[in-house]
Structure 1
Amino acid sequence: MTVPTSALVIPDLLRARAGALPDQDAINVRGQRSITYAEWDARSNAVARGLLARVGGGRGVRVGLLFGGDDWIEYAVAYLGVLKAGATAVHVNDNLPVEELERRFAQCSVAGVVHGAAQPWPHREDRWSARTVELEDADASPVDAEVLPEDIADVLYTSGTTGPAKPFTNPHGNQTYGRGSAALGALTNPAPLLAPMPLGTTSSATTVAVLATTTPSPLIVCSPDDPEEIARLIAEHRCGTVILTPWTAIRLMGIDPTARHDLTSITSVGNASAPMPPRTARQLLAAMPDAVISSAYAQSEAVPAIIMGTVDPDRHLVVGRAGRGTEVVVVDEQGEPVAPGELGEIWLRSQAPKRLYLDSELNALVHAGGWTRTRDRGRMSADGEVTLFDRAVDVITVGGVPVSSLEVEAAAYEHPGVREAAAVAVPDPVLGQSVAVVAALAEGTEPHELIDFLAQRLPPHSTPTAVHRMDELPRGGTGKVLKFALRAALADAQPLTPAARPAVR
């Protein structure tokens, strides 16, 4: 059931690749520029030396990494340099407001900030700043800094979908868990892997630290915000794998990419972050007829514990079964396992070094006996298949009956005039709560049409009493809808479209 914890640290993954494949491209940015494993290894050595000369010692020192756009190579060099020095990287994105950047730097007590050329950051008396190239020492030989699997590699932030993003630590041994020599072999798949990811996020940290150092395929990275370029890169490089969040996939299918690009080289789509709307999954499979869409359900705080499955548009909330080295249980409010098929909270566990919040009180709420409480509601069958119901905070309780916002949203996306959709609870004087949908609608689509459409597809208690128009839904850095912001905005709002009160069944 479990996998022995790896004795490796993240720099070991890069050193192994640089030794085996020195001249192979490690990271290719948009098909325009790249860095080899040997270059990455040497430059990150030089950054580590420059950092140690500046701070005197690495362990316990936190260094902010502020990058954006296409600056993947400088980010990767800085990141591995920080880790080789024994320090901790705090990943932030340049799309964050200055006030939020300052909040995170202060919260994490960063000693300095390494930034890209387009993200100048002021040098202060208590916090230095430098570009990657400004840290590089003339000596690019390996540094002699002890780094252990239990040492903290990163401070990462949650997606912020339920409130202000929260910081948690990520030990080296968490990222390298289960990655022994078998994971560090040669590139065996010539078809490139395309990873459209935003910089300065948990996703970019994993892409650089693990994916770029262990994938059997050449790695191409690009922005998730340009669906036309994603389609172009797939077609031009004959990519075999693409990693997509649901929001990236929705936008990609929204441009009708097959009218201009051949996507048939794709045989594997990795879906992460959230369940994919069934309509989007069907569109992807039509555009990529030889592809299988794999899903990875996890919580940032529970990684590397993971549930793996294959996306079936007809069973879109079935997330799969426990991955290698993962234990899963569904429990009641007292933490006791529920019967198969009963609704409860999903808990995950692995033997890897734990990711922990900086807030010890929050750790006590989320972690118990090695388990991580996901705060997601779901069911597990007798044979271990897990079906997600909803994020606990997003469940809408209509007259005592729980409604899955995910089910409502999946039904809303079936309407051809819906570009974006989110279902949230709004106060109801009789039922306690009712369902409201906030949607970006195509020109000519009216809110009442969507209500009528959903009334034909959902039980009465799940049918929205209102549809609110919004040009664009508020989203966090990973593309997830900020439902807490929608709930706050709609708490006192009147329905834009009257609808009959749903009967509760």
Structure 2
Amino acid sequence: MGLTTMQGAVAAAAAATPDGPALTVDEETFSWRELWNRSAQLAHELERHGVEPGALVSLLLGNSRDFVTGTLATMMVGATPQPLSVRLPGPERDAVLAVARPALVLAESAVELDLPTLRVDALASAEVDVPERFLTTRSPSWKAPTSGGSTGRPKVIVATRPGELDAESAEVGRTTRLPIGEAVVVPGPLHHNAPFTFALIGLMRRNHVIVSSRFDAARTLAQVERHGASYLYVVPTMMNRIWRLPAVERDAFDLRSLRVVLHTAAACPAWLKEAWLDWLGDEVVWELYGSTEGHANTMINGTEWRTHRGSVGRVVVGEMRILGEDGRELPPGEVGEIYMRSAAPAYRYLGAEARRIDDGWETLGDLGSIDADGYVYIAERRVDMIVRGGSNVYPAEVEAAIEQHPGVHEAVVVGLPDDDLGQVVHAVVRAEPGVSDEELTAFAAARISRYKVPATWERADERLRDDAGKVRRSAIRERCLARRAGSGAEAVR
């Protein structure tokens, strides 16, 4: 195909197989013709609302047909899609919009905003003409996802890559593992960077892309079986929920079509990773580590992981190195701060400043190491690390130990201040009724060093991570502190 605009690649697929399946949302499937026409219809609406090339268009939509068509429409007019979660509380949503300053917001009628808004659910589908400019106009940036980061302060990450790509190139295949002309299941929330990326590039590679309005473990496996999908994108939270299905239910699905299961976005506990390798095969399960900013990323398959247990792989895009607190590069195996660098600037922030040092090296605050063979290992985010009596405790390690308990659905570990030790380990768990603190303490103590075992425990009634596996530790920590102070704050949610 060669280099083309992103929407042009989708147009080519629509021209080749107009009645073939392009997008499925839950149980509803849209053809390439339907997807392309709706995108063009929305592009006309964007022009009527005065959206100009280079502007940002916020997509305040859940996983839906119009999230995808709104993205393509935005590119058709040369603007940049800015995905935004519909589940954000009003003040947090408004803070992001204040940073992004979009020319237009695509939303549903139930959402009330003080910004120019196109209510997509009120716009009935209609046949429209598709001028040549809708295929050839190149957006200066193909995405602008948001991040609250570890601080909770919103920022918008504007990619510097324009809206064009040689989608069917071997390089894109190598770095995404996406097939061409097959079926791919992407159940994550599309406002997150990875699901957005894999769904959009999946379409550009002429794949039938299957998404869900909300993640459901059994439905995801059913989608793989029903559509004969060869590719599944997941995050560790999804992997855990799928693995927690009764074995008789999980194993009833025919998953023989799967050739790639790619997981990313968060640390995967070693026991869970191994369970998936044993279930689906070492050659099927892949892991990707990188940043929304796009500096660099690593990749590893199950076969490599078996011999480099716990690694997220070797660098396949960009560069990485480990620096100590004095700014010097550390030898293989020593834990320090991970710095990344891309061949060319990959992004610009709105609402934040990059942590950049000489020669373009940047850090997001992750701690880790690189072994003598070039395999990268992630320890924790620096801001999340707990220092207990001078000893470092990595929450991900503690959470992985706790979540092996059959009665625990998920756990989040934070550090709380302590007059004697500086910080103590505190765990918030969502567990089955009847699982006591004493039982959890004993269970954790059998798996990790005693100083890492939570000193205190708290229960949560609702999920601690979203469908993308993300958790806002700073918010959970603040609520735990408020409860400890007896302020009457609500239970952790």
TM-score range relative to shorter protein: 0.7 to 0.9
Alpha-carbon deviations, 1:154-208, whole Å to 9, x = none? 32111555423421112343x75674655799x9667632110224332443134
Residues 110 and 371 of structure 1: CA distance in aligned 2, closer, same or farther (over 3 Å) = same
| Rounded Cα–Cα distance in structure 2 between residues aligned with 1:279 and 1:15 | 43
1:320 aligned partner: 313
Does structure 1 retain, via aligned residues, the 8 Å contact 2:238–2:467?
no
1:423 aligned onto 2:418: no
1:271 aligned partner: 263
| Aligned with 2:217 (options 209, 215, 227) | 227
> Greater shift after overlay, 101-110 or 254-263?
254-263
Secondary structure of the residue aligned to 1:96 is coil
Residues 493 and 455 of structure 1: CA distance in aligned 2, closer, same or farther (over 3 Å) = farther
Does structure 2 retain, via aligned residues, the 8 Å contact 1:31–1:220?
no
Gaps in structure 1 of 5+ consecutive residues: 1-5, 496-505
| Rounded Cα–Cα distance in structure 1 between residues aligned with 2:180 and 2:77 | 33
Secondary structure of the residue aligned to 2:186 is strand
TM-score under structure 2 length normalisation: 0.85
| Rounded Cα–Cα distance in structure 1 between residues aligned with 2:166 and 2:131 | 28
Residues 45 and 236 of structure 1: CA distance in aligned 2, closer, same or farther (over 3 Å) = closer
TM-score under structure 1 length normalisation: 0.84
Secondary structure of the residue aligned to 2:133 is coil
| Aligned with 1:17 (options 13, 17, 23) | 13
The one-letter code of the counterpart of 2:159 is N
Does structure 1 retain, via aligned residues, the 8 Å contact 2:354–2:362?
no
Q: How many residues align?
A: 475
| Rounded Cα–Cα distance in structure 1 between residues aligned with 2:242 and 2:31 | 27
1:503 aligned partner: none
Does structure 2 retain, via aligned residues, the 8 Å contact 1:451–1:466?
no
Residues 20 and 333 of structure 1: CA distance in aligned 2, closer, same or farther (over 3 Å) = farther
> CA shift at 1:274, angstroms?
0.8
1:111 aligned partner: 103
1:53 aligned partner: 48
Secondary structure of the residue aligned to 1:402 is strand
Does structure 1 retain, via aligned residues, the 8 Å contact 2:194–2:265?
no
| Aligned with 1:284 (options 273, 276, 292) | 276
Alpha-carbon deviations, 1:20-63, whole Å to 9, x = none? 54443222223431231x443344234323322331x6223222
1:438 aligned onto 2:406: no
1:408 aligned partner: 398
Does structure 2 retain, via aligned residues, the 8 Å contact 1:10–1:172?
no
2:300 aligned partner: 309
2:83 aligned partner: 91
1:388 aligned partner: 378
Does structure 1 retain, via aligned residues, the 8 Å contact 2:266–2:469?
no
Alpha-carbon deviations, 1:393-415, whole Å to 9, x = none? 11111222212111111111222
> Greater shift after overlay, 203-212 or 326-335?
203-212
| Rounded Cα–Cα distance in structure 2 between residues aligned with 1:194 and 1:76 | 15
Residues 264 and 61 of structure 1: CA distance in aligned 2, closer, same or farther (over 3 Å) = closer
Does structure 2 retain, via aligned residues, the 8 Å contact 1:397–1:432?
yes
The one-letter code of the counterpart of 2:52 is G
Does structure 1 retain, via aligned residues, the 8 Å contact 2:270–2:310?
no
Gaps in structure 2 of 5+ consecutive residues: 486-493
| Rounded Cα–Cα distance in structure 1 between residues aligned with 2:170 and 2:283 | 26
| Aligned with 1:76 (options 68, 93, 103) | 68
1:456 aligned partner: 446
Does structure 2 retain, via aligned residues, the 8 Å contact 1:302–1:372?
no
Residues 419 and 314 of structure 1: CA distance in aligned 2, closer, same or farther (over 3 Å) = farther
| Aligned with 1:101 (options 88, 93, 96) | 93
Does structure 2 retain, via aligned residues, the 8 Å contact 1:231–1:257?
no
| Aligned with 2:343 (options 351, 364, 370) | 351
Does structure 1 retain, via aligned residues, the 8 Å contact 2:22–2:208?
yes
1:205 aligned partner: 196
Does structure 2 retain, via aligned residues, the 8 Å contact 1:275–1:316?
no
Does structure 2 retain, via aligned residues, the 8 Å contact 1:192–1:239?
yes
Residues 183 and 21 of structure 1: CA distance in aligned 2, closer, same or farther (over 3 Å) = farther
Identity of aligned residues (%): 27
1:44 aligned partner: 39
> CA shift at 1:137, angstroms?
8.0
> CA shift at 1:330, angstroms?
1.0
> CA shift at 1:114, angstroms?
1.9
| Rounded Cα–Cα distance in structure 1 between residues aligned with 2:335 and 2:469 | 28
Residues 134 and 172 of structure 1: CA distance in aligned 2, closer, same or farther (over 3 Å) = farther
| Rounded Cα–Cα distance in structure 2 between residues aligned with 1:435 and 1:251 | 25
Residues 395 and 188 of structure 1: CA distance in aligned 2, closer, same or farther (over 3 Å) = closer
| Rounded Cα–Cα distance in structure 1 between residues aligned with 2:426 and 2:441 | 10
Secondary structure of the residue aligned to 1:369 is helix
| Rounded Cα–Cα distance in structure 2 between residues aligned with 1:317 and 1:109 | 41
Secondary structure of the residue aligned to 1:488 is helix
The one-letter code of the counterpart of 2:340 is L
> CA shift at 1:86, angstroms?
0.9
Alpha-carbon deviations, 1:117-167, whole Å to 9, x = none? xx444575x624232746978322322697457x13332111555423421
2:30 aligned partner: 34
1:164 aligned onto 2:164: no
> CA shift at 1:379, angstroms?
0.5
The one-letter code of the counterpart of 1:88 is T
1:332 aligned onto 2:319: no
Secondary structure of the residue aligned to 2:464 is coil
